Amino acid sequence: MRSELNGIFVLNKPAGMTSARALEQVKRLLKASKAGHAGTLDPFATGVLVCCLGKATRLSRFLLQGEKSYEGVMQLGLETDTQDATGRVLREVPVAGLTREQVETAFERFKGTIEQKPPLYSALKHKGVPLYKWARQGKPVQKPARRVQIMDIRVLAVDFPRIHFRVTCSAGTYVRALCADIGQVLGCGGILQSLCRTVSSGFSIYEAIGLEQLKAELAEGPEAVPIVDMADALRGMPKAIADSRLAGMISNGRQLTVADFTGKTIAGAIDVKYKSYLAIVDSNRRLLAVVKSENAAGRYDYCCVFHS
């Protein structure tokens, strides 16, 4: 096992487990000094949970901004207090007569920038207390609607009353709320029956490993466990390779300017939300720092610095 584990582990979270509990198991199994995740999944949901280990916990602020993709099943004709299959049924409505075309038209209405009310049962806080705790006490709190972005949403299959779908959306989007709103448009209500996150901050379900597989790989040899280096974790962020002079400036906390990166930037696909950032790596591809251009003067401010 590495003497100090710093990097990203992509977990395929199982159903029936909170994200916090899943992260704790990853931390224990990999013997990481500290750990954090980049985006909560509901306990009933499965799929990509990006686990930041060791020094990589300082990268979670960037990874939390990343877009997400999901595949799920929506059940029409039901409304619950949690907007999913785990909640108390509030209303049941027959769905006879609905067509696939009507369903697809309703889904299409939610593509683009939309206003979404967070669920009453969510981890958002009111007066320092999660909303789900207020709701469980019979004192539900409705947070104001907020703007989220639905980049793509489509129906994959229809087996009334179940609708199989795929959605790509901005961070902070509640797929449960999306299903409830689509159900309202269709006039029969709807809940999220099952959900799998397939992409999170550039990490795919095809990279993800389940807890049982992780245990099996650790039994064969700790080095077999795939850990994404910190330098490779910020997918879509421009990178610059530091020579010894630039590395020394970073080590001493010196002011950096655009001129310091002339000829050092690595070309590649850039995510628009990262366009003002730079991840600086050394010749051995170790992450030295993340900086951000804050003004027109060509200066960069330090977001985080990693000392060896």
Q: How far apart are the first and last CA of the chain?
A: 18
Q: Residues with Cβ < 8 Å from 308, sequence gap 6 or more?
A: 286
β-bridge pairing 190-200 and 46-53:
parallel
Can you say whether the dihedral through the CA atoms of 244, 245, 250, 253 is positive or negative? positive
Whole-angstrom Cα distance, residue 116 to residue 217? 41
> Catalytic: 42?
yes
Whats the size of the chain, residue-wise?
A: 308
Give me the DSSP letters along 266-285.
EPS---GGGTTEEEEE-TT-
Alpha helices in the chain (DSSP H): 19-30, 60-63, 100-108, 131-136, 175-186, 211-220, 230-233, 244-251
Whole-angstrom Cα distance, residue 8 to residue 156? 31
Active-site pick, 42, 84, 260, 271: 42
Instruction: For 238, list phi and psi in degrees, rounded to 5.
Output: -55, 150
Q: Is 180 helix (H, G, I), strand (E, B) or coil?
A: helix
Please identify every residue annotated as catalytic. 42
